[in-house]
Amino acid sequence: MDLKIYKDKQEVAEQFSSYFVDQLKDKDAFHVALSGGSTPKIVFDVLADNFADKVDWSNVHFYWGDERCVPPSDDESNYKMTVEHLFSKIEVPKENINRILGEKNPVNEAMRYANLLEIDLDRVEKTPQFDLVILGMGDDGHTASIFPHEIELWDSQDHCVVATHPDSGQKRVSINGKVINAAKEVAFLVTGASKAEKVKAVVEKTEGSDAYPASLVNPSSGNLVWFLDKEAAAKLNQNPS
C-alpha cells in the first residue's frame, strides 16, 4: 500500500493528475473506472487544465465504478459531473465514454454494464480487469456504491450490482469487489477531515474496520495507492511524507 499525503485538495488534484497521465504513457488502450461524488471535481478540473492537449485521449476508455440511478441531466449524476469537469474540456471520442445508464431499470442496467465490461476488458479468472480503478470513500467507509449495510454485495457473483444508499434510499449501480480487486492498479482519492476516522480504520486495519467496504480493497496485483490530503490523513499513526 502506497500512502501519498499532500497539504490540500489542490495539491492532491495536481499530484493525482500527473500520476494519471504517467499511467497512460506508452499505452495504446487504457481502461479506467472513474469514481463519483464530489472529490473528483477538482481533480478533473486540474487534469483538463494541465493536460487537455498533452494526452492522446483516443487511447483512454472511460467507465465508472458506480453511478446513481438518475438521468444524465440530473445534478446527482456522476456522468454529468464528469462531463462538466473533464469531458467538456478535452478531445475524447464519444465511443470512449462508457457511462452507466442511470435512467434505466437498475437490475437490467447492472446486467448490461457487467456484460459490457466482460466484452470490452481483458479478464483474469473470468473477472474483467481494468488498468486502473479510481475509488473514493464515504464518511461511513463505503467505496464505489458498496455500503456497510450491504457489504455482502462485495462478494456478489455479478460483476455489477444494484445497491441502495442507506440514507436516501437512492438506487445505485456499482462494480463489485472482484472487479475492483482484479484491477492492475487501484487508487483511492480521499480528502477532507470528515474522512479521517475511516482512513485511519481502513489503512491501519483497526478493530471492526472489516465492517467498512473500503477495507476490502486489496488488489491481487498488490498495486494500491492512496492520495490523501493532510486533513484526511490527520488521524494516521505515522505520516510517511
In the complex, which residues of this chain contact ligand 6PG (CB under 6 A)? 35-39, 65-66, 68, 78, 136-138, 142-145
Quote the CA–CA distance of 167 and 171 in Å, as a whole number: 11
- Shortest Cβ distance from residue 91 to ligand 6PG (Å)? 25
CB of 41 to ligand 6PG, least distance (A): 8
The distance of Cα 77 from the centroid of its chain, to the nearest Å, equals 14
Residue with smaller CB distance to ligand 6PG, 77 or 129: 77
For ligand 6PG, the nearest residue by Cβ is 136
CA quadruple 112, 82, 50, 53: dihedral positive or negative?
positive
Q: Which residue number, 40 or 128, has a Cβ lying nearer to ligand 6PG?
A: 40
Task: Closer to ligand 6PG by CB, 142 or 159: give it.
Answer: 142
Q: Which is nearer to ligand 6PG, 37 or 72 (CB)?
A: 37
C-alpha cell at 7: 497539504
- Comparing CB distances to ligand 6PG, the nearer of 122 and 155 is 155
Shortest distance, position 72 Cβ to ligand 6PG, whole Å: 14
Which CB, 55 or 224, lies closer to ligand 6PG? 224
What does the alpha-carbon distance between residue 64 and residue 100 come to, in Å, rounded to a whole number? Answer: 7
Q: Least distance from C-beta 136 to ligand 6PG, angstroms?
A: 2
Q: How far is the CB of 140 from ligand 6PG (least distance, A)?
A: 9
CB count within 10 Å of CB 235 equals 17
Q: How far is the CB of 142 from ligand 6PG (least distance, A)?
A: 6
